Amino acid sequence: MLREYVYGLAGLVGVKKPLGQHFLVDDLVAERVASLVEGRVVFEVGSGLGSLTLYMARKAEYIYGCEVDRVFLGLLKRELERRGVGNVDLMLCDAT
């Protein structure tokens, strides 16, 4: 599921190598990481297309996400809205 979601979106908008973009595509890894944030407030650097964000939103109390790519930020905001996710706040920022 995650692999298709990420590859589909990344194929549409392209990957920006200078930004060091890498994408989590393993559902089991995403589930494992999400289990570590249950009930916590999370600051996620590099929310990207939301591979991890979408999983963590199911477990975390709240997520503050930082993304430098305007296109990815817009896509993720739309996906969160489409899914009715209300515990994620995304911002355009460079965490370097």
Q: Per residue in 14-59, pLDDT tens?
A: 666 656 667 777 889 999 999 999 999 999 999 988 999 999 999 9
User: CB of 43 within 8 A of CB of 69?
Assistant: no
Examine the pLDDT at 9 and tell me if it is beyond 80.
no
DSSP string, 33-72: HHHTTTT-EEEEE--TTSHHHHHHHTT-SEEEEEES-HHH
The tokens describing 40, both together, are 């916590």
The reported pLDDT for the residue numbered 25 is: 78
Residue 27's CB is within 10 A of a number of other CB atoms, namely 14
Q: What is the pTM of this model?
A: 0.82
The reported pLDDT for the residue numbered 14 is: 67
* Overall residue count recorded for the chain in this entry: 96
How large is the average pLDDT for residues 66-86?
94
Task: Give the separation between CA 29 and CA 22, rounded to whole angstroms.
Answer: 14
The tokens describing 43, both together, are 């600051």
